[in-house]
Structure 1
């Protein structure tokens, strides 16, 4: 496959997933941006999710990340508390509303993916999942992973 064809396929997939939309999801009366949904997911799935740890996992600079956290705190979806073992570190956790919103987003995304996968047979589904895992693994090993292309 030529590079421009490959890029076109990723562009189409990005649009289909709605990655360019202003908000990715609505849940619990909140319009949640894509980055906010990623933050909620990471907080929900990490043990003792510190501000720095979540920002690092998402590859987000700490200033931008802090603004997003403040926004989620104002929405009463996230709590930020000092780590009792190291008062310089802040631990993020979901509020009850935050857990509801995160669960609702998970359900929406899973329903969407299940509907998409319903158009494939079992072999095709397994092939796509295996290919996504291979691609993620290769991206992890790449020296340019998670950074914009240099122009």
Structure 2
């Protein structure tokens, strides 16, 4: 049987998921976590900080620190809700939208290059398999939790 962990270890390295920064655009270094945050804010503009943190599976304290960094970088805007000033909504600045669009274009170009080495059938099979894996991961109680190993 295939060593499934090894397959995922190699894929993680090839995606660059272990790199400190996922990309550098106009001398702005973006970490992988920041890239995920920007992507989700772009998808859910004007969502609350809590909503975006939940989608990403991040605790609010860690998420808040990342947001503060993105605000300092001029990529994200935090706006208090007029009806409840304790709740902040998030949106991308013009520079944040540019960075997010540039990352999307680069990632899409990467996947186009990867899929260019496959037949249309192989590409569809891989995409179907990834969708199935994502669905099954969502159903397990072990997904997205840190490993707790006891002896």
TM-score by length of 1: 0.95
CA contact (8 A) 1:28 1:100 kept: no
CA contact (8 A) 1:40 1:94 kept: yes
Q: Distance in 1 between matches of 2:119 and 2:90?
A: 40
1:47 deviation in Å? 4.2
Q: Residue 6 of structure 1 aligns with which residue?
A: 4
1:149 deviation in Å? 2.3
103, 106, 117: which one aligns with 2:104: 106
1:77 deviation in Å? 0.2
State yes or no: 1:38 paired with 2:36: yes
CA contact (8 A) 1:50 1:92 kept: yes
CA contact (8 A) 2:25 2:99 kept: yes
Structure 1 gaps, min length 5? none
Q: Distance in 1 between matches of 2:94 and 2:38?
A: 12
69, 72, 90: which one aligns with 1:71: 69
Give deviations 1:49-89, integer Å, cap 9, x for gaps: 21111111111111111111010000000000012343221
Residues paired across the two proteins, number = 149
Cα root mean square deviation, aligned: 1.1
CA contact (8 A) 1:79 1:95 kept: yes
Where has structure 1 moved over 3 Å in runs of 4 or more? none
Give deviations 1:30-59, integer Å, cap 9, x for gaps: 110000000000000014221111111111
Q: Distance in 2 between matches of 1:59 and 1:143?
A: 14
TM-score by length of 2: 0.95
131, 134, 138: which one aligns with 2:132: 134
Q: Distance in 2 between matches of 1:78 and 1:28?
A: 16
Q: Distance in 2 between matches of 1:30 and 1:121?
A: 36
Q: Residue 149 of structure 1 aligns with which residue?
A: 147
